[in-house]
Amino acid sequence: MIKLLANALFMSTPLILGACGEVVAERTGMMVTAVEGIFLFGAWGGFVGAYFTKSLLLGFLAAIACGVLVALLYAVTTIHMQQNQVVMGTAVNILMTGICEFFYRVIFGTPLEPLTVKPLPVLPVPLLADIPVLGTILFRQNLITYLTWILVPAVLFLLYKTSLGLTLRSTGENPEAVDVAGIRVNRVRLLAVLFAGILGGIAGAYYSIGDIGMYTTSIISGRGWIAFAICFLGNWNPLLALGAGVVFGTSDAVGVYVKSLGSGFFPSELFTALPYILTILLTVVRRRFNAPAKLGTAYVKEH
């Protein structure tokens, strides 16, 4: 049970990371529908980087670069070329599936044994890790998880206590107001999307080099979309997104747990599907919508 909870938090980390980036971007009116592609390319880049350099740090840096690259492609087409965000995101996601598969083959061929790197180690926090039960659940995690927990309040603080946060929030609600105040709307949006690219890249790599230490084409399989859903479900608030992220992480962990039990009473496929079922259920039942007013619309200005 304790193991399960610890694993739940472990599994929620990338979802929260991705959702945090999504929250910041969507607050400026940018639906980063390319998040699935960002995750995937991050997972790919992280693995390739870590495999060749034998360094997880460099692996994650490569993942960030990959995430930013995809985000940049998405941002330029949607912000500057004013393409539809949903259509563009879908196109980018499909493109990334192909690119990752292709270049994995180009680089590694078809290895007989799966290629592996050593995944992210558990980093017990001194003293705190020795607290019974809680210590095992909370403080025997990896570095990225700890950083994520710091990131959430940091993003919350950024959004609600700083001038940058006010700008971000206003951009999603009424870009004209931001423009009139002498701030460049499209630059704000670009930076927000790139931020989502950074976090999404890390989140993707978390699945490859953080968790299992290898890369497969189905490694993300919709996790990016779940981060996307968490942003909605968390009402565009990082703290609520953290909560929603833990719920999804738990269902992910339960899936893994049931699978490890072997053929039991429940088919394990049901639990693998749980996060997706949960997404649909939670989206349908939830009441309060606080969506940024201009979410998904390009800002066009005459010159």
Q: Count of residues binding other proteins (CB under 8 A)?
A: 21
In the numeric block, which tokens belong to residue 254?
């339960």
**Using the rule CB under 8 A, is 260 a contact of other proteins?**
no
Task: Name which of residues 183 to 242 contact other proteins (CB under 8 A).
Answer: 183-184
| Residue 165 beta carbon to other proteins: minimum distance, rounded to whole angstroms | 8
Q: Is 173 in the site for other proteins (CB under 8 A)?
A: yes
Using the minimum distance from each CB to other proteins, give the nearer residue, 180 or 284. 180
- Four-point Cα dihedral 44, 205, 29, 235, nearest 10: 140
3-state secondary structure of 46: helix
CA separation for the pair 292, 59 (Å, rounded): 35
CB crowding 188-207: b at 16 or more within 10 Å, else e: bbbbbbbbbbbbbbbbbbbb
Q: Pairing between strand 123-124 and 140-141?
A: antiparallel
Max CA pair span of the chain? 66
Decide whether 106 or 181 has the Cβ nearer to other proteins. Answer: 181
List all residues 6 or more positions away from 195 whose beta carbon is below 8 Å from its beta carbon.
21, 24, 25
180 contributes a contact to other proteins by CB under 8 A:
yes
The reply to whether 174 sits near other proteins by the rule CB under 8 A is yes
Minimum Å gap between C-beta 183 and other proteins is 5
> Of these, 85, 142, 170, 251, which contacts other proteins (CB under 8 A)?
170
Q: Letter for the amino acid at 121?
A: P
Would you call 46 exposed, middle or buried from its count of C-beta atoms within 10 A (0-12, 13-18, 19+)?
buried
Q: State yes or no: residue 288 binds other proteins (CB under 8 A).
A: no
Q: Choose between 147 and 166: whose C-beta lies nearer to other proteins.
A: 166
- In the complex, minimum distance from the CB of residue 290 to other proteins, in angstroms, rounded to a whole number: 8
- Comparison of 105 and 187: residue with beta carbon closer to other proteins: 187
Q: How far is the CB of 157 from other proteins (least distance, A)?
A: 9
Interaction mask 139-168, other proteins, x per CB under 8 A: ----------------------xxx--xx-
Residue 182 makes contact with other proteins by CB under 8 A: yes
Kindly identify the residues of this chain, within the stretch 106-135, that bind other proteins according to CB under 8 A: none
Under rule CB under 8 A, residue 279 binds other proteins: no
Q: Which residue lies nearer to other proteins by CB, 170 or 250?
A: 170
CA dist., res. 101 & res. 107, Å (int): 10
Q: What does residue 141 show for φ and ψ, rounded to 5 degrees?
A: -115, -175
Cβ neighbors of 92 (< 8 A, separation 6 or more) are 33, 34, 37, 70, 73, 74, 77
Least Cβ distance, residue 285 to other proteins (angstroms): 21
Contacts with other proteins by CB under 8 A lie at 161-163, 166-167, 169-170, 173-174, 176-184, 293, 302-303
